[in-house]
Every structure is written in C-alpha cells, then in structure tokens.
Structure 1
C-alpha cells in the first residue's frame, strides 16, 4: 500500500482562495516550459520571449496533449508538440498551422500570475473571482527603503508533498507558546499587534533568541514584523538582531499534501563585502532555515483540531486568526466550522 493511501484527508479544504507560490523565477528561463501540479491540477508555466510568465492548465484543448512534454515557446505563445496549435498568455488559440483561422471557441484555463521577490505566484479561486488583494512584497511593504541589493541572495528550503495545510503555518504566527519549546527561546515572546481586519493581515511580536530565562520582556529590544497575504504567503522582517527577512509559501498539491518553500534574505553590512562577512551571512541564513525546518517537523505530523482546548492566554490570538482564515474558503469547500475553546 502506498504511503499516501494511509494519509487522512485534512478536514480543512485544500482549495482556499489566494496567492500561492508555484516556482522560483530562476526555474523558468526564457523559452522554457515548467511542469507542475497544484490544487489537484496538472499545470505548466512558460516564459515568453518578452519575459512574461504564464501559468495555465497543462493540456492542449485540441486533442489533450500535455504541453509540458515537448511543448515549445515560440515568441509570445506556447506551441503544442502534437499538432502545432499555438496558445497565447490568455489561453486562447491563435494559430492552427494547417488552417487559415484559429479555433476561437476553445481556451486553456489560465491563472492570474505575479512575479515578486524572485518568486512566481498564481491566484487560485474556485469561484473564478479576480484577485482582490496583492502578494506581499518583502521589501516594499515594510515602509522602509530596503531593496534586494541590500541583501545577500536568497537561502532557500523546498519540501515537496508534505502532509500539511497552509493554515497550520499561518496559525504559527499567533502561537507564542511554541517558541520556547520548538525554537528554544529563553523567554516567551510578547505579541504587540494582531491586525486581522483585511485579507492581508499583520502580526508583530517582541522576541529574542539570546540570553537566559532571567530576562524580562521589557528588556528585549528585538522582534519580528509579519505580513500574511492570505493563507499562501507570509513575509517577515526582523529588527534589533541580525538583519533578516523571510518568505514562507505553502501551496496545496492535492487533497492531502502541500509543497513548502521558505526563503531567507540576510542583510549586507554596509562597506563590508568580505568573504568572511558573506560566510557569516550564509551560516545565519542556514540557522534561520533550520528553525523553520523544526516547525515543519511538527506540522507534517499534525492533526488539525477544529475545537482545540486552549490556555486562556492563547484564546484571543487563535480566535482572531481562525475567524480571519474563514474568508478564504468557499462555503462548499470549507469543511467543519473553525472554532476554539478554552
């Protein structure tokens, strides 16, 4: 029996609305066709000569050839390997090589696509609605003047088809108690902001990874700001410690599993481009990845509990984030109501 045959289907829908990462930009060169499967759907991403990336369902609407196996990019269109039919970035047939007009009645489903922070995101919505919020920008959305040039290239983690749901990762953002036990912080962090009024939400907290339990939270001068773009993408900025920013992205593959991507940017020290500084940044970036991997070890074996028995101090945070998360599920895809109890 296969491993997946034994997996219990998550009680939360694996088809929430929102932006989800499907690739890194450097995985799709000009003229390349990239195969993938998300939301139980075979897809391809391809980059036109102009540099534009298109994400669409994988099968040609003529006789069903898979465009990811032999399909080619010709200028601004993708050409089917079977009979040469060509499809544009809207999924419309623009050329049948042995006929003087295209088939205007057929269209391959395509997805709104954004490239940001060296990543490719698609918009997914079972109701077919257009995007109504933006993908967070790790540099543009924190209100400072930082750019990618101020940071070393991304350090990355990529895990495929893990038995977890995107909401597990987002709920981590209000779970103050886990930091001491999973990440060995000397004291429990203090959350200073929970803003769940819009599809893009904000969580800030004071935290340190150094020192001992003799500290008090009022003495800590470091913390994290987080921006959650729906359930699929979260970006963070650290302050008062080594300058680092992260992007976590969790994308459902099928009814049981998700792909997890995690990116870390470590800030350059102005005026110091030495190999020693770069090596130090690489080591710190790996340490941040290791901390995230410790969370993954929990999530991939977690059972989602709709009515958890929470400590009193946990109640407000989990109530807020679960109420916020409900908006991303269509009524016919939601599963059991999400509630919490003390």
Structure 2
C-alpha cells in the first residue's frame, strides 16, 4: 500500500478524534450553562401530590405490586377522622396564583367544596363567580369565554357580569332578561402573587369581608426577587396545619435531624436529637429551635392575626452554630401565613396559603421572595430546606387523627391557646363533615 493511504487513514482517525472531543466540550458547555441557569436564574418549582409524601412504609411492605396512588387511597380510607371541628373555616383563601390567569382567561377552580369560575377581564380585573349557569347548569369555567367584563356560558351563550353575577345577555331571546338569571359573585382580592376569595358560612357576612389581605410592598413593588414555589396536597383537616406553629415540642423531635436526612420518617435518625436520653453522641448536624407563639390581645382589632417567632440555627456536633436565622410567622386568618426570614445574607419572605379543596384535602402553596442581597442559590437552598421540613409534617398529617381533647403536659399549653384563637373562624353554619357526607349520598361515583 502507498504511503498516501496510511497518511489519509491517519488523518481520518485524527479528524474523528477531534470531532469527538469537540462534541464532548460542546455537551459539557451546554450542561454547565443549563446548571448555571438552574442554580442562578430559574426559580425552584417543587410539586407533590397526595400520594407522593408519607407512604414509603406502605410501599416497602406492600406485596401486591400496588402503585403509590393505590396505597395512598387505601390509607385515606383507613384513616380515622376523629372528632373534628367544622371542615371549612371563614376567611380569605387562595384560588390560584396570579401568573396562572392571563387577561381573557378562565379557570375552573374547586375550593371549600364550591365549584368556581375564576376569570380575568380584558382590562385585567379578576372576578370569581359560582361555576354553574342557572339556565341548564353548564360549568362556566369549562369552555366559558371572557367577553369584555362578562363570562359567556359555553352551552347557550348567556353572559354573566363579573361585577355582580347578573345575566346581561341571552343571545337568542328577544324578551327581557329574567331578574333571577344570576350567579353568586364572590368577593375576591388579588395581592402578593395570589388571587384570594372570601368565604363565610353565614349569608349576611359572605359578601362583606371582615378584614383585608395585607399587601407586602417588597413583593408588589418588585424590589425582592421571586425565587421559587412549592405545592402540596395534604390529607388532613385544615386546622392541623396552622396548629403546627403553636406545637413547640415537635420541632426538636421531628425537625431536629438535619434536612439532609430527607423526609422519610423511618429513615430519619432521631436517636441523637437534642433532648434524647438514649443518644450516645452528638449528631454531626442538627437543627436547633427556640419558639414562641403569641395570639392577639383580648378585644384587639386584628384578632384574626397570631404570631409565631422562631430562632433557628444549624449546629455542628451539637455545639457550633453556623447557619443562623430568625423567623416571624404571621398567621392571618385560617389560610394565610407570612414568614419573614432574617438570614446572615439578608431577608426573605415566604408566603404560605392553605386552601381546602374538600373536607380533608388541603392545597398548600409556598412562594419565596428574597431581597437583592440574598443570592439565588442560597434562597433556593432555604426553600428546599423548608420543603424537606414541611414534608416531614405532611407525612404525619396524612395519617394522623384529630383528638379534640388531647392529653397534654404544661409544655403543650400553646396548642390549647391556638385552638381557642382558631375558634373565631367557625360560625353557627360552618359546614361539618356529617352534613357534607349526608349531602353526598346518592352522588355518582365511578
């Protein structure tokens, strides 16, 4: 063979090697760019359904090949409800996030066992109406169309005003619109990245909110950066979730182990948590908490607000604190919390909303905003750590029963205080689980 053949073959091999190296460099560069974008720019978005948290033990012991959803549904059926308070308290509840609702868009939303049509007019105003058209019962949120400041029924084209719920037009009728042709208009308020609506079981108070959702200027002004969200569905009575803020004793036991241990309750090593007598050595990392809960003064105008203060630090070998944080959790009514976090790099605020979809199904949303001094990776680490800790609570909530008269010790007295404070959100006609189950008899279930 000629020398030219070997030379050509050698160049071909070199060309392929060079091409392979270039491809590797390109892929590595793209991965690096994606990683930097994810860490420094893209907000965190963590979503967990009812079956995603708290069913690891059932999955480990299952011998029948059932899915997590099947195991979760079985656990929900087997769970004893307990002697629960009314299932829907009175107050403001989040229906959706502002970014979910574009101008001219309609959403079908289920909240507090109500079916609602939530829409934004072309001018940007949010309206909330009962979902069912009084004509023949079509769902306005499914296929409904926004026309000016009205929503048009997808069945026959009847139009209902977003301002008062009255029918403004029947396209095929030449007569006068019947005065009874209207749907309920719910008070709503868009603030801090959420659309809220006012729910009250008493008819005379259902249209006149008793307080407003306070606006956070750091969010509305755009000065603080949005860094991410988490979303959960939880199988528990709504009161159990805010009551967590007054349950001081559970923090050391459930939330003391490092967040690196995850949220699987069986796998978390609690043997060396602070306060444990059987621990032989200090854990490498643990969370330390100092908590106080304070309700409003008697007769205060803001009696719907309670405050939990938390001093938190992450300790190395039980001695050396190296991540310090002070938190103020302001509970505003039954379904809204503003958590202000003071960290070594600056301040953040976490907005938590809790909305009952059904009596024992809560939708919990968190949105984190951080001051400019809090860099994105640190803010997302805070949100991720909060999510892990919250999921430990979810794993307990999904299986616990409600005990109206618990056996408590003196250190648990804030739980009793919180329950007395929370009673103000129930009224004479607040729905009870017995009534709802009775009303559901004969409903279709495939």
SS in 1 for 2:315: coil
Q: CA–CA distance in 1 between the matches of 2:337 and 2:297?
A: 14
Relative to 1, partners in 2 of residues 1:307 and 1:114: Cα closer, same or farther, differing over 3 Å?
A: same
Shift in alpha-carbon separation, 1:110–1:6, aligned structure 2, 3 A = farther
Deviations 1:199-229 (A, max 9, x none): 432324241232254489xxx9742112212
Is residue 396 of structure 2 the alignment partner of residue 298 of structure 1? yes
CA distance in 1, matches of 2:192, 2:399: 30
Q: CA deviation at 1:252?
A: 1.1
Report the number of matched residues: 321
- Partner in structure 1 of residue 180 of structure 2: 105
Residue 246 (structure 1) aligns with: 350
Q: Name the structure 1 match of 2:154.
A: 81
CA–CA distance in structure 2, aligned partners of residues 326 and 241 of structure 1: 37
1:155 aligns with 228
Per the alignment, residue 227 of structure 1 pairs with: 330
The alpha-carbon deviation at position 7 of structure 1 amounts to: 5.0
- Following the alignment from structure 1 to structure 2, what is the Cα–Cα distance between the partners of residues 192 and 66? 43
Distance 1:14 1:191, change over 3 A: same
The 5-angstrom pairing of residues 120-159 of structure 1 reads 120-128=195-203, 129=205, 130-137=208-215, 139-140=216-217, 149-159=222-232
TM-score relative to the length of structure 1: 0.84
Secondary structure of the 1:36 match is strand
Q: For residue 296 of structure 2, what is the aligned residue in structure 1? A: 195
Note the alpha carbon deviations across 1:120-166, whole angstroms, 9 max, x for none.
111101113121012243x25xxxx7765332214111123x21122
Distance 1:307 1:93 in 2: 49
CA-based RMSD: 2.7
Q: Which moved more, 1:238-247 or 1:16-25?
A: 238-247
Q: 1:1-342 to 2 correspondence within 5 Å?
A: 3=74, 5-9=77-81, 11-89=84-162, 90-100=164-174, 101-128=176-203, 129=205, 130-137=208-215, 139-140=216-217, 149-160=222-233, 162-184=234-256, 186-191=287-292, 193-195=294-296, 197=298, 198-211=302-315, 213-214=318-319, 222-242=325-345, 243-269=347-373, 277-315=375-413, 317-333=414-430
Counterpart Cα distance in 2 of 1:70 and 1:204: 44
Separation in structure 1 between the aligned mates of residue 178 and residue 304 of structure 2, nearest angstrom: 40
Which blocks of at least 5 consecutive residues in structure 1 are unaligned? Answer: 271-276, 337-342
Answer with 77-86 or 247-256: which moved more.
247-256
**Higher alpha-carbon deviation: 323-332 or 15-24:** 323-332
Give per-residue Cα distances to partners, 1:83-123, cap 9 Å, x unaligned.
11100112111111123432222221121101111101111
Which secondary structure does the structure 1 equivalent of 2:305 belong to?
Answer: strand
Instruction: Give the structure with the larger helix fraction.
Output: 2
Q: Deviations over 1:163-216 (max 9, x none)?
A: 112211211111222222222254341417443644432324241232254489
Looking at structure 2, the residues matched to 186 and 158 of structure 1 have their Cα atoms a distance apart, in angstroms, of 24
Alpha-carbon distance change, 196 to 93 in structure 1, aligned in 2, over 3 angstroms? farther
Q: 1:70 to 1:332 in 2, by over 3 A?
A: closer
DSSP-derived class of the 2:239 partner: helix
Structure-2 change in CA distance of 1:196 and 1:260 (3 Å): farther
Alpha-carbon distance between aligned partners in 1 of 2:332 and 2:310, rounded to the nearest angstrom: 21
Segment of structure 1 superposing worse, 36-45 or 240-249:
240-249
Structure-2-length-normalised TM-score: 0.66
Is contact 2:249–2:411 with CA below 8 Å preserved after alignment?
Answer: no
Gaps of 5+ in 2: 1-69, 257-285, 434-446
Going from structure 1 to structure 2, the CA distance change for 1:148 and 1:282 (only over 3 Å counts) comes to farther
SS, match of residue 248 in structure 2: coil
Q: Which has the larger radius of gyration?
A: 2
Relative to structure 2, which stretch is displaced further, 171-180 or 123-132? 171-180
29 and 7 in structure 1: CA distance in 2 versus 1, 3 angstrom threshold: farther
